[in-house]
């Protein structure tokens, strides 16, 4: 099915409908990947503009929300590439020592720096309220992940992209991709532990 827009009034109505229905979702999606609100706003506007310019080609195979999200996703990747002054590989090398010292005892075979204790959540099932609380703390912790590697981590879990696709898009090696996933999970675990999210 194709959508044919006939006149200006119809276009204006469509703009209103799209913005009203999808801006909140796109805003939250972009907020997970980007830090600066001005960048987010610009990219959302560009997303709607590209979508509307190509709206006649929109095939009803996916939902409009999915279609808009995929446009925004590509715009975010291009934006990060343009903005980046340091490659991700260089970033990983530059921060390796700091990461290791933060979590591992490099003088003792890289054992964990602090004891990782068992937490309540491992053995118990959360009720709905606890689940929501845990999710909201997890959301806050994702927001605190390092800006450089956060979009890659989000691509895996939010966009559910395959590792090969992510590596190609962000121009990183497979082994560095796994380093990023490991670091992000370690940062998240540490953040959740500090916020006591394991014992709601």
Partner 1 sequence: MKYFNIILNNCEEVSMHYATEKKTNWIKRSEYKIHLIFCKCCQNYYKQTLKIEKDLLNIKNKIDQNKSIIASDEFKNELISSIQKKLNQQ
Site residues (vs partner 1, CB under 8 A): 8, 11-12, 15-16, 19-20, 23-25, 27-29, 31-32, 41, 44-45, 48-49, 52-53, 100, 103-104, 108-112, 115-119, 121-122, 132, 134-136, 138-139, 142, 157-158, 160, 163, 174-175, 178-179, 181-182, 185-186, 188-189, 192, 198
Smallest gap, in angstroms, from Cβ of residue 104 to partner 1? 5
What does the angle CA 123 – CA 125 – CA 131 come to, to the nearest 5 degrees?
125
- Helices 150-157, 128-143: inter-axial angle, 10-degree rounding: 140
Smallest gap, in angstroms, from Cβ of residue 192 to partner 1? 7
Question: CB atoms < 10 A from the CB of 62, how many?
Answer: 12
Task: Name the pairing type of β-strands 104-105 and 111-112.
Answer: antiparallel
Nearer to partner 1, 80 or 191 (CB): 191
Nearer to partner 1, 80 or 141 (CB): 141
Contact 136, 130 (CB under 8 A): no
DSSP 158-171: TS---HHHHHHHHT
Nearer to partner 1, 82 or 115 (CB): 115
Contact 198, 187 (CB under 8 A): no
Smallest gap, in angstroms, from Cβ of residue 86 to partner 1? 23
Round to whole Å and give the CA distance between 49 and 67: 13
DSSP state for residue 144 in the 8-state scheme: T
Nearer to partner 1, 3 or 81 (CB): 3
Nearer to partner 1, 20 or 85 (CB): 20
180 exposure class (CB count in 10 Å sphere: 0-12, 13-18, 19+): buried
Smallest gap, in angstroms, from Cβ of residue 110 to partner 1? 4
Smallest gap, in angstroms, from Cβ of residue 138 to partner 1? 6
Nearer to partner 1, 80 or 184 (CB): 184
Smallest gap, in angstroms, from Cβ of residue 169 to partner 1? 18
Structure tokens given for 47: 């997303």
């Amino acid at each position: 099915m194709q959508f044919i827009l006939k006149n200006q009034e119809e276009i204006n109505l469509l703009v209103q409908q799209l913005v009203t229905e999808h801006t909140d979702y796109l805003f939250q999606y972009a907020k997970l990947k980007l830090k600066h609100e001005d960048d987010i706003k610009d990219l959302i506007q560009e997303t709607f503009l590209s979508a509307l310019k190509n709206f006649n080609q929109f095939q009803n195979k996916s939902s409009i929300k999915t279609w808009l999200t995929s446009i925004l996703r590509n715009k975010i990747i291009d934006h990060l590439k343009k903005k980046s002054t340091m490659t991700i590989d260089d970033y990983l090398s530059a921060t390796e020592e700091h990461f290791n010292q933060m979590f591992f005892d490099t003088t003792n075979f890289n054992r964990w720096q602090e004891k990782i204790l068992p937490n309540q959540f491992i053995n118990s099932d959360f009720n709905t309220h606890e689940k929501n609380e845990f999710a909201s703390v997890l959301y806050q912790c994702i927001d605190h992940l390092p800006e450089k590697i956060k979009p890659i981590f989000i691509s895996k879990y939010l966009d559910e992209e395959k590792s090969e696709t992510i590596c190609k898009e962000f121009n990183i090696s497979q082994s560095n991709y796994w380093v990023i996933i490991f670091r992000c999970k370690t940062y998240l675990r540490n953040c959740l532990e500090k916020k006591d999210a394991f014992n709601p």
